[in-house]
Structure 1
């Protein structure tokens, strides 16, 4: 019980909670259809819909990696 009440643990839990909210970004952004409900701009001949789907995957992976690494580093402290 003493570990839970330590001031450092309270800060870590707060950081972990806010970092966890970053995971909402790759879920919410693809749901905003006006972002990709267009045919222009084109990238290498592909309409925006197609290359934005790939971009969403890349952004989602990057955010997940950041959240995971932050959680692991915080856990090790």
Structure 2
């Protein structure tokens, strides 16, 4: 079974892709900027801020990653002519 030829058009940077990139960049910036959360207060159910802030980013990062995936997938479908699936 022959493979489909590669798309000769170069990838285009669209506002959707920029938004998807920002969704992926936000957790990195938030968690690598340690000075912004390296403190003990405010505590949440006895857990220091330093720990619960990082744990709060786990579901947020998952949601942002899914959002970026959905945006790029939708944009790719529209670019290829709205194919099925």
Give unpaired runs (5+ residues) of structure 2.
1-7, 79-85
1:32 aligns with 2:33: yes
Segments of 4+ moved more than 2 angstroms: none
Match of 1:21 in 2: 21
- Whether contact under 8 Å (2:20, 2:68) holds in the other structure is yes
Deviates more, 1:39-48 or 1:49-58: 49-58
Match of 2:52 in 1: 51
Shift of 1:25: 1.0
- 2: distance between equivalents of 1:61 and 1:73? 18
Normalising by the residue count of structure 2, what TM-score does the alignment of the two structures yield? Answer: 0.68
Shift of 1:28: 1.3
Considering only aligned residues, what root-mean-square deviation do their CA atoms show, in Å?
Answer: 2.2
Is the radius of gyration larger for structure 1 or structure 2? 2
- If each structure's helix is expressed as a fraction of its own residues, which one has the higher value? 1
